[in-house]
Amino acid sequence: MENTTDSRTFADSVSCDVLVVGGGPAGSTVATLLKRRGLSVLQLEKDHHPRFHIGESLLPANMPILEELGVLEEVRGIGVRKLGADFPEQGDRYYTYHFARALGKTPPYAFQVKREDYDRILFRNAQRSGVDAREGVKVDKVEIQPDRSTLAHATAESGEKLTIRARYMVDASGRDTLLGSALKLKVKNQKHQSAAIFAHFKGVTRRPGDEAGNISIYRFDYGWCWFIPLSDGLMSIGCVCFPEYLKQRRGRTGEFLLETLKLMPGAVERMADAEIVGEVRVTGNYSYTCSAMTGPGFVMVGDAFAFVDPVFSSGVYLAMHSGKHAAALVDDILKNPHREAALQRDFEKRIRRGVRVFSWFIYRFNSPVMRSLFASPRNVLKVEQGVISMLAGDVFDSGPVMRRLHLFKAIYAATGLANLRRWWSDLRERRRQSATQFTGGNTPVDEA
């Protein structure tokens, strides 16, 4: 990023109050709410809707935001109702965490959605709200001016050049991390590296009755796996694995995914009549955080700031929550520019707090202690209900929830200390098996 003005001439130019880069859930949320606050907003998305994306499981805490945006019923029309999450252990014996038992005021349900449909609904809603939301326009370069305004340069698919002058910028560019990369703020998470292989299937057995729309989270020695029921009889299935495990794959990617599922007997039993639909996709190490979320004249939201392992389906909610609060932040800063630094500190503190809550559980999810606690939950002092509230997305404002989560952490620590020798022996054995089973060089993999 530079603080100079490009001398090139452009075929077109736009001036606005706020430039939003990105057309995903975070970008469309912040753009819509900024427009409703009376600001002129330009939103640029490099692709066209609909486009494929993972992150298909919403949280109950998403529902009030969808209602505020005015799209809840549209999402209901494309979604599969999700009443909870189950965590199978020992074959396919599973325990379901029902959202209706949460401590806070989150709704007792959420939806599973095809992201191409979901993101399109949010983007079109931004356009209906009066946002100048354009597709097929890629932002190439952003320059923060001495007065903290933004000068951005973009290119349309036609080759037409566009220059944008904005009073403020919101980076909602997702995993492209436009500002994080330009300012060298993006930091890979060395403590929790992961990669994923995933696809859509048909013919996968669903849970019975009201639980047919629930997400299932399976564990195996080298990671974990999601089963997300979607509309049209589809099931999204993906395995999040240690990168070292994925490097040892041989043959076609689809075959490797099926071989990985065989490591989870309960999961593979549900796939007797399953068939892959469409492409099998692989993504590399994708856990990262930017060292700063804000700066003079800009704020990052959603995956542009951080992406953590999606085991608790937190991504879309954190994106939309940060987008909602960023709208209030930017509006306040434009009215009170002298308060920018203080307002940004409060915003960043809030968002980081929610990310930390999810991250603590995520980083320990495959540990023997966490496996035992999730397999046999106890609701002493409503601790289990506190965990359910976390699974529902209630990680920001509820004192009762936070107190239960702190108590859960104490129980986790005490359980680990009480079984230290057993857990250490188990960890060493799993590492030995991993080193024994997966050795050798890397082989390129053809996409299925």
The CATH number of the domain holding residue 344 is 3.50.50.60
Q: What is the mean pLDDT of residues 256-276?
A: 94
Provide the CATH number for the domain around residue 211: 3.30.9.100
Residue 40 domain-assigned (yes or no): yes
Residue 279 domain-assigned (yes or no): yes
157 and 259, same domain (yes or no)? no
Specify whether the CB–CB gap between 41 and 168 falls below 8 A. Answer: no
Q: What is the pLDDT of residues 388-397, one digit of tens each?
A: 999 999 999 9
Question: What pLDDT is recorded for position 425?
Answer: 66
136 and 173, same domain (yes or no)? yes
73 and 174, same domain (yes or no)? yes
Question: What pLDDT is recorded for position 432?
Answer: 54
Question: What pLDDT is recorded for position 90?
Answer: 76
Residue 263 domain-assigned (yes or no): yes
pLDDT band at 286 (very low <50, low <70, confident <90, very high): low
242 and 144, same domain (yes or no)? no
What total of structural domains would you count in the chain? Answer: 2
297 and 250, same domain (yes or no)? no
Long-range CB contact pairs, 327-335, < 8 A, 24+: 327/29, 327/30, 327/33, 327/34, 327/37, 328/33, 329/299, 330/18, 330/30, 330/34, 330/39, 330/168, 330/170, 330/299, 331/34, 331/37, 331/39, 333/168, 334/17, 334/18, 334/39, 334/167, 334/168
Q: Of 352, 376, 401, which residue is a domain's last?
A: 352
43 and 152, same domain (yes or no)? yes
Rounded Cα distance between 217 and 352, Å, is 25
60 and 173, same domain (yes or no)? yes
Question: What pLDDT is recorded for position 442?
Answer: 36
pLDDT band at 249 (very low <50, low <70, confident <90, very high): confident
375 and 448, same domain (yes or no)? yes
202 and 180, same domain (yes or no)? no
Residue 167 domain-assigned (yes or no): yes
395 and 275, same domain (yes or no)? yes
Residue 376 domain-assigned (yes or no): yes
Specify whether the CB–CB gap between 168 and 298 falls below 8 A. Answer: yes
Residue 246 domain-assigned (yes or no): yes
Mean per-residue pLDDT over the chain, rounded? 90
- pLDDT exceeds cutoff 90 at 407: yes
Count CB atoms within 10 A of the CB of residue 193. 16
33 and 124, same domain (yes or no)? yes
Share of the chain above pLDDT 70, in %: 91
Count CB atoms within 10 A of the CB of residue 430. 14
319 and 432, same domain (yes or no)? no
Instruction: Find the domain containing 57 and state its range.
Output: 12-78+114-188+292-352
- SS3 of residue 45 by DSSP: strand
pTM for this one? Answer: 0.91
